């Protein structure tokens, strides 16, 4: 049984319990406190104990472009540091100037940027789901513990 299926079942049981408290048991502070505590426990279980998975995130066009820019910069800085390469070092006799070294650096940097990938830890249950669950749980729990002011007017009392 998957974590998501268990989370759906537990959430459904909380909704059924809340409806039972509201419709059949007469909504009291004790019911609100119990439901708030269970909702908090459910939200903390979703946040802390459902685990995470690793996803492979492949590079996009931005990382390829950044790799190319970085490679071009390294190629140009290499030209500035070394100078004309090829003839001076006794190489094959082809002098590589600034433009060709920058081009080679940009190509190699783009290939390096395209080859990268990273494993990212992603929660199984999204925080967009469990954060509101925790907020509702805190609201119910704290609201049940708060003392009511008996002198405060209710919705049914009308003051002139």
* Number of domains forming the structure of the chain: 2
What is the average pLDDT across 12-22?
Answer: 88
pLDDT for the residue numbered 93: 45
Given a cut of 60, whether residue 51 has pLDDT beyond it is yes
Is the residue at 131 inside a domain?
A: yes
pLDDT in tens, 60-76: 777 788 888 888 888 88
What is the average pLDDT across 130-142?
Answer: 85
Whether residues 84 and 45 share a domain: the answer is no
Whether residues 97 and 72 share a domain: the answer is yes
pLDDT in tens, 81-117: 776 655 555 555 456 777 787 888 888 888 888 877 7
Whether residues 90 and 136 share a domain: the answer is no
Range of the domain at 12: 3-52+124-145
pLDDT in tens, 144-154: 777 666 666 55
For the question of whether the overall pTM of this predicted structure is more than 0.75, the answer is: no
Is the residue at 153 inside a domain?
A: no
Residue that wins the pLDDT comparison between 13 and 29: 13
Whether residues 90 and 45 share a domain: the answer is no
Whether residues 80 and 44 share a domain: the answer is no
Whether residues 101 and 137 share a domain: the answer is no
Whether residues 69 and 107 share a domain: the answer is yes
Whether residues 63 and 87 share a domain: the answer is yes
**Percentage of residues in the chain with pLDDT exceeding 70?**
81
Whether residues 79 and 109 share a domain: the answer is yes
pLDDT for the residue numbered 89: 55
Is the residue at 157 inside a domain?
A: no
pLDDT for the residue numbered 128: 83
What string of H, E and C letters represents the secondary structure of the chain?
CCHHHHHHHHHHHHHHHHHHHHHCCCCCHHHHHHHHHHHHHHHHHHHHCCCEEEEEECCCHHHHHHHHHHHHHHHHHHHHHHCCECCCCCCCCCCECHHHHHHHHHHHHHHHHHHCCEEEEEECCCHHHHHHHHHHHHHHHHHHHCCCCCCCCCCCCCCC
């Amino acid at each position: 049984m998957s974590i998501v299926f268990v989370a759906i079942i537990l959430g459904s049981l909380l909704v059924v319990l809340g409806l039972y408290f509201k419709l059949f048991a007469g909504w009291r502070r004790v019911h609100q406190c119990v439901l708030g505590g269970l909702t908090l426990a459910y939200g903390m279980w979703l946040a802390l104990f459902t685990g995470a998975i690793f996803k492979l995130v492949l590079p996009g066009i931005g990382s390829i472009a950044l790799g190319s820019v970085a490679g071009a910069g390294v190629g140009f800085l290499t030209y500035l540091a070394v100078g004309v390469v090829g003839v001076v070092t006794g190489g094959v006799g082809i002098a590589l100037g600034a433009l060709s070294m920058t081009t080679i650096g940009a190509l190699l940097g783009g290939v390096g940027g395209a080859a990268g990938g990273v494993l990212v830890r992603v929660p199984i249950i999204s925080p967009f789901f469990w954060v509101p669950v925790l907020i509702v749980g805190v609201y119910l729990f704290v609201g049940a513990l708060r003392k009511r002011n008996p002198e405060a007017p209710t919705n049914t009392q009308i003051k002139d």
